[in-house]
Chains A and B, each alone.
Chain A
Amino acid sequence: MDGIGTALFAVLALGLVGGGLAVVLVNRITAAALFMAFTFLCNAGMFLLLGAEVIAMFQVIIYVGAITVLIIFGVMLTPQGDRRYGLFFQKQTPVAAIVLAAVAIPVVVFAFSFRDPTGAPHLAPGDLKALTTSIFVDYAVPFEIASILLLAAMVGAIVLVKRESDDAAGGER
């Protein structure tokens, strides 16, 4: 079981980092969106490996389902033809690479050196009861505020893409 878990972790870690790199490096935007969905699926597998089944389910439903579809809508509604590969990086790439490497390398080294605390309690498998108790009892008010945020975002998105009234019958571009 441990060997299977380790192998699974290795595959999922490769999928996560490789999928992320593909999103950054692939030229075709539709392919990048699908690689992003693949990365989200690998992350759901990571959650399962950690024993957080409910979070993994939310990950599949919200990220792999909803957000990927929304992003693909965005890709399809903004067609722009093929671009040369060299054109798709910004002018600031060298500066960004230097700054990012300066920040990232210490952080990643620190993350690898993180040690498990001894004697930490291992939670029981399954996270449904603890999670729902936390959300609906301890964090009930933030939960309601989050629902208001979703409503505000929906109204805001509709208002932002609403056409002016004179060409409202113009149909989709």
Chain B
Amino acid sequence: MTIPLAAFIAVSALLFFVGAAGVLVRRNAVVILMCVELMLNAANLALVAFSRRLGLIDERGSVFVVFVFVVAAAEVAVGLAIVLAMYRNRPTVDLDEVQQMRG
């Protein structure tokens, strides 16, 4: 275990901002969901790294990773359902062209 904690945290931060760039930059709804998953994975990596290296008693951080798994599964299921319902109304997943929910 000689790899420093900072290396894991730096990789996690890089992956998170790559995912954030994807969310901000892409216009395909499914790709945006993928990029959200990338950001969740980056957060998981940071949680596990801190938990394994700094855990004083036990692995509390890893428990939150399990909950993040659950929330990610729920999020992607509902998100894809919304995208499919949107696509059925009008066959596009281009978020620039979706005007119906705009206030």
Contacts and interface: CB of A to CB of B under 8 A. Distances in A.
Contact residues on A (Cβ < 8 Å of other chain), bracket: 35 or more
Contact of B76 (A52, A70, A154): A70
A82 interface: no
Interface string A118-133: 0011110001001101
A104 B19 CA distance: 11
Given A24-B22, A78-B93, A104-B17, A73 B80 contact: yes
A108 B10 contact: yes
Please indicate which of the listed interface residues A50, A66, A113, A115 has the most CB atoms of chain B within 10 Å of its own CB: A50
A50 B2 CA distance: 10
A173 to B, nearest CB: 7
Interface string B62-87: 11011101111111111011111101
A67 B76 contact: yes
Contacts, number: 250
B72 to A, nearest CB: 7
Nearest to B84: A161
A75 B76 CA distance: 13
Interface of B: 1-15, 17-22, 24-28, 30-31, 33-35, 37-38, 41, 44-45, 48-49, 51-56, 58-60, 62-63, 65-67, 69-78, 80-85, 87-88, 91-96
Q: Is the interface of B mostly helix, strand, loop or mixed?
A: helix
A90 to B, nearest CB: 5
A14 B14 CA distance: 11
Smallest CB-CB A-B distances: 8 pairs:
A153-B74, A96-B24, A160-B81, A24-B22, A20-B18, A157-B81, A104-B17, A130-B58
A71 B30 contact: yes
Contact of A150 (B45, B56, B73): B73
Given A80-B91, A111-B12, A20 B73 contact: no
